[in-house]
Amino acid sequence: MPKIDPETQALYDEINGMIQKFKDDQKAKADCTLADKCGDMSDVTKIRFNSKKILKGHINKVNSVHFAGDSRHCVTGSLDGKLIIWDTWTANKVQIIPLRSAWVMTVAFSPSGNFVACGGMDNACTVYDVNNRDASGVAKMVRELVGYEGFLSSCRFLDDGHLITGSGDMKICHWDLEKGVKTMDFNGHAGDIAGLSLSPDMQTYITGSVDKTAKLWDVREEGHKQMFFGHEMDVSSVCYHPNGMGFASCSEDQTARLYDLRSDQQIGQYEPPQKNTGFTSCALSTSGRYLMCGGIEGMVHSWDTMKQRHTGTLSGHENRITCISLCPNGMCLASTSWDQQVRLWL
């Protein structure tokens, strides 16, 4: 360990002083707990969802799922090297897109349903036009976005022409899909970026990272707006609250948390009844009352966000759940797992 020169030390001290100030400030603002405030609310029932359909077709671990804006179609990506676009209503495959690289980690559907994007260990993000076929009859690859130094861990469409990605090289990139050029590219975190969630108004987004923090960003700017601490291990996924004023996050540290943007701190914490599972993915219901998290032990846990009570589990998967996605109208939850299945819960 090299000796720390006085200048650096002074800076460290300053930072530590500031951290203390934040803590004091947070304490000062924490005039009550969420549970206090929600004490007189009526209880919500145990989560009523059942595993209604199993979408069968993948022959390896399924890593990611995302719904299109129509709340009916979803796309899943698996280590078998395929993207499958499903009509969740009929449980039929609408399209199967063979990938160049089988190591897909994340998928995204554009809100319009016109494009899907995916990426992973190939250190690239590939965008397919769902409505256009190439010579062999599969969806046409319209863009291959390269230049990453780490695997792609998350991507989301702002609209048909713009995409934001987070990757294992700690970077956040913004892409103009029409031109295929990067419009922004900056270091987002001090560790792999693990999850990304767009605000309901598409003006801001939250990222979660292996550096145990989550950050708030403006889609127009490079610097982060706010930073949120609390998790003790990798933050694996984040999900904007539908009111746009907060977000939920989940982590390997066996907790999920609720943060508020305006009070700039954590206001809720959620744990599984037996402390036996870390979480890989989270989602909030339309009113923000239910929080759902996919666990590495194969269950989806749910909580009442307000009263911070566990409201049941959805069991069916036989292995780690890798991703859950609630459709935009809030009626159907899709989950993907290492057991090669995609399940629909409603």
Partner 1 sequence: MVTMNSEADKTQATNATLAMSSAEKQPAAESTSPLPKSPPATAAAGVAVTTECSVPAAASLPPVPVPAAAPAAATTQTSVPTPAPEALANGNSNANIEEVVVAVASTAAGATVNGGAAGVVTSVAAATPPPSAKTVNVRDTTTSAGVSGSSASKSSGLLTVSSNHHHHHHHQQSSSSSSSSQQQQQAAPSTVVVQSSSQHQRSNKNEDAPNILVYKKMEAIIEKMQAESTGVAVRTVKAFMSKVPSVFTGADLVAWILKNFDVEDVTEALHFAHLLSSHGYIFPIDDHALTVKNDGTFYRFQTPYFWPSNCWEPENTDYAVYLCKRTMQNKTRLELADYEAENLAKLQKMFSRKWEFIFMQAESQSKVAKKRDKLERKVLDSQERAFWDVHRPMPGCVNTTEIDIKKAYRRGGSSHGTGSSGASVAKNPVEQLSRIIALRKQKLERRTIKVSKAAEALVAYYDQYNEFDYFITSPELPNPWQTDSTEMWDTEKNSKEVPVRRVKRWAFSLRELLNDAIGRDQFTKFLEKEYSGENLKFWESVQEMKALPQSEIKEAIHKIWQEFLAPDAPCPVNVDSKSVELAREAVNSPNGPNRWCFDVAASHVYHLMKSDSYSRYLRSDMYKDYLNCSRKKIKSIPNLFGVKR
Among 126, 265, 313, 341, indicate the residue that binds partner 1 (CB under 8 A): 265
Is residue 46 involved in binding partner 1 (CB under 8 A)?
no
Token pair in block for residue 166:
């987070």
Among 23, 132, 161, 275, indicate the residue that binds partner 1 (CB under 8 A): 161
Among 131, 179, 222, 233, indicate the residue that binds partner 1 (CB under 8 A): 179
Nearer to partner 1 by Cβ, of 66 and 317: the residue is 317
Closest CA to 196 of 161, 163, 232: 163
- Amino acid letter, 150: G
CB of 322 to partner 1, least distance (A): 9
Strands 62-67 and 73-78: antiparallel
Among 65, 85, 108, 122, indicate the residue that binds partner 1 (CB under 8 A): 122
Is residue 37 involved in binding partner 1 (CB under 8 A)?
yes
CB of 56 to partner 1, least distance (A): 12
CB of 133 to partner 1, least distance (A): 19
> Which 125-144 positions form the footprint of partner 1 (CB under 8 A)?
none
Is residue 151 involved in binding partner 1 (CB under 8 A)?
yes
Q: How many CA atoms lie within 13 A of 243 on its CB side?
A: 11
Nearer to partner 1 by Cβ, of 150 and 230: the residue is 150
CB of 329 to partner 1, least distance (A): 7
Nearer to partner 1 by Cβ, of 64 and 197: the residue is 64
Among 43, 54, 56, 59, indicate the residue that binds partner 1 (CB under 8 A): 59
Token pair in block for residue 75:
């796309």
For the chain, how many residues are written? 346
Block residue for tokens 């009859």: 137
The footprint of partner 1 on this chain (CB under 8 A) covers a number of residues equal to 113
Among 198, 256, 332, 342, indicate the residue that binds partner 1 (CB under 8 A): 332
CB of 69 to partner 1, least distance (A): 11
C-beta separation of 264 from 273 below 8 A: no
Nearer to partner 1 by Cβ, of 95 and 188: the residue is 188
Closest CA to 272 of 287, 249, 293, 289: 293
Q: How far apart are CA 248 and CA 239, in angstroms?
A: 5
Among 51, 114, 269, 319, indicate the residue that binds partner 1 (CB under 8 A): 319
Is residue 269 involved in binding partner 1 (CB under 8 A)?
no
Token pair in block for residue 64:
């990611």
CB of 243 to partner 1, least distance (A): 4
What sign does the dihedral 305-311-316-319 (CA atoms) show? positive
CB of 318 to partner 1, least distance (A): 4
Q: How far apart are CA 307 and CA 299, in angstroms?
A: 21
Is residue 20 involved in binding partner 1 (CB under 8 A)?
no
**C-alpha dihedral (226, 231, 236, 239), degrees to nearest 10:** -50
The DSSP code sequence of 138-202 is SEEEEEEE---SS-EEEEEEEETTEEEEEETTSEEEEEETTTTEEEEEEE--SS-EEEEEE-TTS
Is residue 249 involved in binding partner 1 (CB under 8 A)?
no
Nearer to partner 1 by Cβ, of 285 and 336: the residue is 285
Q: Which helix (H) or strand (E) holds 59?
A: none
CB of 19 to partner 1, least distance (A): 8
Is residue 159 involved in binding partner 1 (CB under 8 A)?
yes
Closest CA to 29 of 319, 259, 344, 320: 259
